[in-house]
Amino acid sequence: MCGVHSMNRISSDDAEIGYTVLGNGPALILLHAFPATHELWLPAAQFLLTRYRVIIPDLRGHGASSAGQGVATMTKHASDVMKICEAQRIERAVFAGISIGGYILFELWRRYRERVAALILCNTRAQPDTPEARAARLRSAEDVLGRGTEPFVESMIPKLLGNTTRETRPDLVDAARRMMLKMLPKSLSQVQQGLAERQDSVPTLKTINVPTLVLAGDEDQIATLSDAELMRSNIPGAQIRVLPRAGHYGIFEQYENAGKLIREFVDTLPRN
């Protein structure tokens, strides 16, 4: 689906972060979902790189990026993204994030909002884990250390990919599985702990005063349409678009539709 591309590398605190840069123009930084890699964005990115400089990191603990020491918190992830901006000499950018990528964007907004020109919140939610979800996450963080990543990845596929994709696109299911299996057990555990610790971002929503697009998948069981609507109704002036026949990895499952919707949104932003 996509050609070979080279990875840039930077040190961020105690981690090595890999990221890829495609195209030229205003900067567009795309953050993938857990437990995938930057490849989740590559098919949709093809619709963006003709006009934009598209930067896609492997988040800390995923793909080519190491996890560093201890819990991979949203603060650490946000700091990693800022290090990439410094390395690429980016003052302000448009940021898009899927799932954990969205949680990182809320943290980025709280800490570095002057660097954010616009936000694209994809298949994500502002609420923290419920106590039950948190306990389940911490159990899986423990479990993966003993059993390896495969049982976890297999259990997640039905939750991450929509029914339509699982029934009609075995190639996409295989590609998603391959991406997820690149994660080391210890890294997966550190990232899960960070996800369990993330703060409630609902109060943050009303402070967002840059153009914002909320993208949801109509088959997403993890970040539901009502989660998307909560973000849209609390972020002043936010737009919402729904991807049909798409689950939690909707940007990958319906990459053409997603790529065009994102392109449409970023093309309307003021060029500075």
pLDDT, tens digit (0-9, with 9 covering 90-100), for 15-50: 999 999 999 999 999 999 999 999 999 999 999 999
Q: For 91-114, what is the mean pLDDT?
A: 98
- Only one residue has tokens 């201890």, namely 70
Q: Which of 40, 117, 111, 46 is nearest to 80 (CA)?
A: 111
3-state secondary structure of 128: coil
139-144 long-range contacts (CB < 8 A, ≥24 apart) are 140/192, 141/188, 141/189, 141/190, 141/192, 141/193, 141/196, 142/189, 144/185, 144/188, 144/189, 144/192
In the β-sheet with 15-22, what is the strand arrangement from edge to edge? 8-12, 15-22, 53-57, 27-31, 93-98, 116-122, 212-217, 239-243
Alpha-carbon distance of 114 to 117, in angstroms, equals 8
With bands split at pLDDT 50, 70 and 90, how would you rate the model's confidence at 6? Answer: confident
Helix 74-87 with 100-112: angle, nearest 10 deg: 70
Confirm if 120 and 265 have CB atoms less than 8 A apart: yes
- DSSP class of residue 200? P
Is 50 exceeded by the pLDDT of residue 223? yes
CA–CA dist 195, 141 (Å, integer): 10
φ and ψ at residue 243, rounded to 5 degrees = -85, 120
* pLDDT exceeds cutoff 70 at 198: yes
- Which tokens belong to 155? 């259990």
Q: How confident is the model at residue 3 (pLDDT cuts 50, 70, 90)?
A: very low
Give 147's pLDDT tier (boundaries 50, 70, 90).
Answer: very high
* Token pair listed for 127: 């609420």
Helix/strand/coil for 18: strand
Q: Which band of pLDDT confidence, cut at 50, 70 and 90, is reported for residue 215?
A: very high
The string of pLDDT tens digits covering residues 163-189 is: 999 999 999 999 999 999 999 999 999
Mean pLDDT for 120-134 is 96
pLDDT averaged over every residue in the chain: 96
d(CA 248, CA 223): 7
